[in-house]
Amino acid sequence: MTMGCFVGGFGVATAAFPNVTALSGGLHEPEGSAAALELLPPMVRRRASALTRSMADAFGQAMTQAGANPAEVATVFGSAWGETGALRELLQQIAAGEAELSPIRFAGSVHNTASGQLSIATANRGFTTSLAAGDDTVAMALQEALGLLANGLAEVLVVLGDVDPPAELAGPLERCDSLAVALHLHTGQPNRPRLARIEDLHRVTTPWPTEAFPAGLQASPVFGGLVLVQAIHAGRTGAVSLGPARGSDWAIRVHAAVTA
Amino acid sequence: MTLPLAITASAACSALGPNVAALEAALATGRSGLRAAGPDLPFATFVGAVTSELAALPPELQPFDTRLARLVSHLLTAIAPEVSRARARWGDARVGVFLGTSNAGILQTEEADAVRVRTGALPADFDFSRQHAYGGALAVLRSLSGVRGPGWVNSTACSSSAKVLACAQRLIAADVIDAAIVGGADTLCQTTLRGFHGLGVLSTTACRPFAAARDGISIGEGGALFLIERHGHAQARLLAVGESSDAHHMSAPHPHGDGAFLAMQRALGAAGLEPSAVDHVNAHGTATKQNDAAEALAIARLLGAEVPVTSTKAYTGHLLGAAAGIELVAVMHALRTGWIPANLGAAPVDAELRIAVQQWGEQRQVRHVLSNSFAFGGNNASVLVGAA
């Protein structure tokens, strides 16, 4: 069965390029977009991990562009590594022989930290989830979102992110630039933009070269999200590979801006 | 209305033993698997440790070798014949795989980091992507099972293995797949035990859910796997999963149980059932003062004060990301046999809780059971299961 949906908005946050406007490679300010929502309260933001902050930034951009209500939208968070910054701090505490770990760091070490913090910040009592699938994380987050839409939800926000894992634990091929990407997806609501249509999530046998992004971004497990955003923004039609540069065998078909 | 699905195979491993039969025997006799934690912890608590031997992975999967991966492999072996049948029936690409875990490979990472701190270098065989990361155990499950449908790890802390049931149900309803291997697994580790100790919610004895004198959680390890199919010879039926968010606090429940109420209400609504149809609740019941009080408020508000409620965490400990999985095995036992297990350690029950905590095992007619799981982040899931 071919499942598809419309893209109502997107957001990008990286250390080097904090939003879509600043990102090189042909991305421009989305037409008509307002300032992105700042979703996390200041104190929460100060204490939040880099991953949660960047996911919140991408989340706010996508919701602003889509004109959607963050208190009502279902959310799917995807990250291959999760909250590795909190993990590093907890490991340091264990190595120091501390019997009691920091409650804030411990509660912030779970994979669904961003999902939880943003549901609290937006007073959203609806659906949220947090998933991982290695280099297939982008594809599987989209699959979960498409499944939700096929089962009756009108709109879903997909938020993808990974930060550079701790140098003392990760190998050189696992080091990457931190990156978060968000995509607002909907079934055709009349009051939402239709920036593109995406459909036909499928396996491919041969990965193809992607645009010339910095190597650190290409190494991110969620790099495919950035490639997808770029294709949507550039108005391209065709299949987009959803993995990092080292490869994932999932792709999705993008159709340029739909107005009808 | 959600699509009812057949649960056609099940596997379990916990402190009670390496299989479903061991768990069911303990439920029938009221035997707890909780024991005092070992001397590697600088404080007293009880844990549910798996003492069964977990076989090594095959040589080609050695880079993925962790206790979690061995646990997943052990569980898959128990349902391998049914998985093979499902692959033949539906096709490899039409069988998905969804695993819930909270900790993933943190245990392996702790051990590797301890070596690094001591010697200056990680163990040569430590692999961050394949051992620490959430996708590692998933890759093992994929490789050993041979299924090629969509799949991921759901990691929403203690609701993880409830939500994977919903993932499978949605994709089967959407005709993306026809069957799925679903479940959860988690292992004991220092991060979890010291983390919950830091939160001040670990019990110093075996946990006593809903008891007046309850003083906290006992952490356990283990897991469960199931084969779920569009049609098939059912051991039980997955009717619906209700999902909600507290939107309240990262590590404390909504004090009135609003999110828990919503999850249970949504499960019943999705299945088209009235609250009166629920014959038994397998509660999240972690035995902290706050969690049990909030859950009891939600149960009483939605289902009334008569429906029998049991938390099985005093049998296995709290399996975190695998809790809903192991508790689904208990639910299926109740549906098949009519045996509602005793809530170990509940007596005397907290008189403030207006629910019917099951203080002893009892034979009843059991047609529909709600099984609750509530997690960090205010992430809630309630699984509604019906008799075969």
**How many residues comprise chain B?**
388
What CATH code is carried by the domain that includes residue A14?
3.40.47.10
pLDDT at A3: 87
DSSP-derived letter for residue B10 is: E
For residues B373 and B135, give the distance between their C-alpha atoms in angstroms, rounded to a whole number.
Answer: 23
Q: Which of B219, B153, B158, B165 is nearest to B192 (CA)?
A: B219
Q: Which of B220, B282, B281, B289 is nearest to B252 (CA)?
A: B289
A24 band by pLDDT with thresholds 50, 70 and 90: very low
> Do B305 and B277 touch, CB atoms closer than 8 A?
no
Centre a 10 Å sphere on the Cβ of residue B204 and count the other Cβ atoms it contains.
12
> Do B88 and B54 touch, CB atoms closer than 8 A?
no
Reading the block at residue A122, the tokens are 């937006």
ipTM summary value = 0.98
Q: What average pLDDT score do residues B367-371 get?
A: 98
Name the class of domain B5-387: alpha beta
Report how many domains make up chain A. 1
> Do B133 and A174 touch, CB atoms closer than 8 A?
no
Hey, what's the torsion of the CAs at B139, B143, B144, B145, to 10 degrees?
Answer: 100
For residues B74 and B68, give the distance between their C-alpha atoms in angstroms, rounded to a whole number.
Answer: 10
Based on the residue annotation, tell me whether B256 is a catalytic residue of this protein.
no
Residue ranges of domains in chain B: 5-387
Residue A233 one-letter amino acid: H
Higher pLDDT, B8 or A38: B8
Which candidate from B128, B197, B376 shows the least CB-CB separation from A112?
B376
CA-CA distances (angstroms) from residue B128 to A84, B109, B132, B135, B233? Answer: 11, 8, 5, 10, 40
Residue B99 with chain A: CB contacts under 8 Å: none
Tell me the per-residue pLDDT of B175-231, one tens digit each, with 9 for 90 and over: 999 999 999 999 999 999 999 999 999 999 999 999 999 999 999 999 999 999 999
Residue A169 with chain B: CB contacts under 8 Å: 109, 112-113, 122, 126, 128, 132
Q: What average pLDDT score do residues B66-94 get?
A: 98
What angle separates helix A223-233 from helix A137-150, to the nearest 10 degrees? 60
Would you call the peptide bond into B150 cis, given omega within 30 degrees of 0 as the criterion?
A: no
A47 belongs to a structural domain: yes
Reading the block at residue A108, the tokens are 């912030």
pLDDT at B133: 96
**What is residue B181's three-state secondary structure?**
strand
CA-CA distances (angstroms) from residue B290 to A35, B168, B253, B279? Answer: 40, 32, 7, 25
Residue B290 one-letter amino acid: Q
Q: What average pLDDT score do residues B1-30 get?
A: 97
Based on the residue annotation, tell me whether B284 is a catalytic residue of this protein.
yes
Res. A31: pLDDT tops 70: no
pLDDT at A34: 47
Provide the domain limits for residue A87: 4-193
Q: What average pLDDT score do residues B331-342 get?
A: 98
For residues A184 and A5, give the distance between their C-alpha atoms in angstroms, rounded to a whole number.
Answer: 10
Res. B314: pLDDT tops 50: yes
B31-39: long-range contacts (C-beta < 8 A, 24 or more apart)? B31/B315, B32/B206, B32/B314, B32/B315, B32/B344, B33/B220, B33/B315, B33/B316, B33/B317, B34/B206, B34/B207, B34/B218, B34/B220, B34/B314, B34/B315, B34/B316, B34/B317, B37/B193
> Do A197 and A247 touch, CB atoms closer than 8 A?
no
Which candidate from B43, B102, B377 shows the least CB-CB separation from A119?
B377
A187 in contact with B, Cβ within 8 Å: no
Instruction: Give me the catalytic one of B13, B74, B132, B158.
Output: B158
A241 belongs to a structural domain: no
**How many residues comprise chain A?**
260
Residue pointed to by tokens 């699938």: A133
Chain A interface test: which of B5, B109, B138, B194 (most A C-beta within 10 Å): B194
pLDDT at A21: 58
List CB contacts of A206: < 8 A, sequence separation 6 or more.
none
Q: Where are the beta strands (DSSP E) in B92-205?
A: 95-100, 151-154, 179-186
A223: part of which helix (H) or strand (E)? helix A223-233
Q: Which of B149, B141, B216, B146 is nearest to B184 (CA)?
A: B141
Residue A197 one-letter amino acid: R
Reading the block at residue A104, the tokens are 């804030």
Based on the residue annotation, tell me whether B318 is a catalytic residue of this protein.
yes
List CB contacts of A60: < 8 A, sequence separation 6 or more.
A11, A36, A37, A38, A39
pLDDT at B289: 97
User: Judging by DSSP bridges, how do beta strands B95-100 and B151-154 pair with one another?
Assistant: parallel
Chain B interface test: which of A43, A83, A118, A130 (most B C-beta within 10 Å): A130
User: Judging by DSSP bridges, how do beta strands A128-132 and A74-78 pair with one another?
Assistant: parallel
Reading the block at residue B135, the tokens are 């996708």
Q: Across all residues in chain A, what is the average pLDDT?
A: 89
Tell me the per-residue pLDDT of A200-251, one tens digit each, with 9 for 90 and over: 999 887 665 565 688 899 999 999 999 999 899 889 999 999 988 777 789 9
> Do A8 and A155 touch, CB atoms closer than 8 A?
yes
pLDDT at B286: 98
A149 belongs to a structural domain: yes
Res. A195: pLDDT tops 90: yes
Positive or negative, the CA dihedral B366, B274, B244, A158 is: positive
A108 in contact with B, Cβ within 8 Å: yes
**What is residue B302's three-state secondary structure?**
helix
Residue B250 with chain A: CB contacts under 8 Å: 107-108, 113, 116-117, 120
Q: What average pLDDT score do residues B24-52 get?
A: 96
For residues B178 and B147, give the distance between their C-alpha atoms in angstroms, rounded to a whole number.
Answer: 12
What angle separates helix B160-173 from helix A137-150, to the nearest 10 degrees? 60
CB hemisphere CA count around A23 (13 angstroms) = 29
pLDDT at A29: 46
Q: Where are the beta strands (DSSP E) in chain A?
A: 4-14, 74-78, 128-132, 155-162, 179-186, 196-203, 238-241, 250-255
